[in-house]
Amino acid sequence: MIDLHVHTTYSDGTDTVRQILRKAEELKLEVISITDHNTCKAYYEMEKFNVKEIYKGDIIVGCEFTANYDNRLIEVLGYNFDYRKVSKYLQKKYNFLHNKKKFKYFYKEVNNKIKRYGLECDLNVIKQAKRGKIFEIAVYEELRKYEKNRKIIDENIWDSYSDYYRKGITNSKSKMFINKAKFYPSVKEIVDLIHESGGVAFLAHPYQYKFNDTEEFLEKIYNENSLDGVECFYTTFNEEQTNYLISFARDNNLLISGGSDYHGLNKKDHNLGIGRGNLNISKDIIKN
C-alpha cells in the first residue's frame, strides 16, 4: 500500500516529518510522498537524519503546487523533481504568503464582504491570524460561528473549510469569492517548472474543484497542458469517480497516482494510507 499525497507542519498539516515517517512505518506503507503546499522544506529536514531508522519504505520527492487555471485556483502535484531547483522558484513565486501588501489585500477584501452583506464577525480575531492559509481558516472559523451569516450566504459552504474554500472564496460565482488566482503562476508555468526540474506533473484531485462539469474540465486542462498524470485515487472519491479517472488516464496514456491528502487533525477523516477506509492503493501504479 502507498500514499502519494501527505502534508506536514511545513504547510497545513499537524504532524511533523518524523511523525509522518513513524506512522507510515507502523502502517507498513511501501511508498510515501510528502507533498506540502508550495514548499519542499520536509526534504531538507530529511537530509539531517537517517530516515531509514524511522521508515524503511521508499520516499518519492513531491510537492503540491497552487496554480491559476482560468482565474480559479487548482493544484498540481509534482513528483521526482530536483527539490533544490524547485525550492529556488518557490521562494520567489510564493513568498507573497508572507508579504504584508498581499495580506492587506486579502484582509481588505474580507472586510468588504462583511460590510457589503452585513455579516457578523470580530475583525480583531481575523487580523491577529497569521498570513496565508492560516488567515483563510481563521476567517472561515470566525464567520461560521454566527447563524446569521449562514442565512445571509446560503451556498452550502459552511460544512467544512474545504467547501468554504472550493465553493466560496475560489468560486467566482460565490458572494465570498476573492480573486486570489491573480497572485499565482499558471498551470502551464508550474508544469514547465516540474519538467525542467526532471519531474512529472499530475492534476490533483479533479473532483475537488466543484466545477459544474468535471469531465469537461478534465478534457480541457489535459488538452491545454502537458500533464503527465492524474490523481485517480483520493479520499473523497467514490468508485464511479475513481473508475472514470482511471479510464481517462489510460485512454490518454497518462500516469496514475493516488493518496489520502493526510493533514493530521486538520482533516480528521483523511487517514494516512487509507483515507476514510476506502483506500488501498497498490504500489503497482508507480512506473519508473
The per-residue pLDDT for 98 is 53
pLDDT tops 90 at residue 288 = no
pLDDT in tens, 7-60: 999 998 999 999 999 999 999 999 999 999 999 999 999 999 999 999 999 999
The domain spans of the chain are: 2-96+187-285, 100-182
pLDDT tens for each residue of 218-241: 999 999 989 999 999 999 999 999
On whether the CB atoms of residues 31 and 21 are closer than 8 A, the answer is no
The model's pLDDT over 239-278, given as tens digits with 9 standing for 90+, comes to 999 999 999 999 999 999 999 999 998 888 899 999 999 9
CATH 3.20.20.140 for domain 2-96+187-285, yes or no, is: yes
pLDDT tens readout for residues 108-136: 999 999 999 999 998 888 777 755 556 78
Model confidence, pTM: 0.89
Assign 197 a pLDDT band (cuts: 50, 70, 90): very high
Higher per-residue pLDDT: 211 or 202: 202
Stated length of the chain? 288
Phi, psi of 175 (to 5 degrees): -65, -25
Q: What is the mean pLDDT of the chain?
A: 91
- Cα–Cα dist 81/14, whole Å: 25
Query: Would you place residue 283 in the very low, low, confident or very high pLDDT band (cuts 50, 70, 90)?
Result: very high
